[in-house]
Amino acid sequence: MIFLGGGKPIDSLFLSARDSIWINPGFQEQLVLFQICRYNPHPGDGVYASWKSKVDRKLKAAGFSRSTRKMLS
> Can you give the pLDDT at residue 45?
95
Q: Is residue 8 scored above 90 in pLDDT?
A: no
Angle, vertex CA 38, rays to CA 5 and CA 18, nearest 5: 35
pLDDT in tens, 34-61: 999 999 999 999 999 999 999 999 999 9
DSSP string of 16-67, one letter each residue: TT-S-----HHHHHHHHHHHHTTT---TTSHHHHHHHHHHHHHHHHTT--SS
Return all residues near 52 (Cβ < 8 A) that are at least 6 apart: 43
Provide the whole-model pTM: 0.61
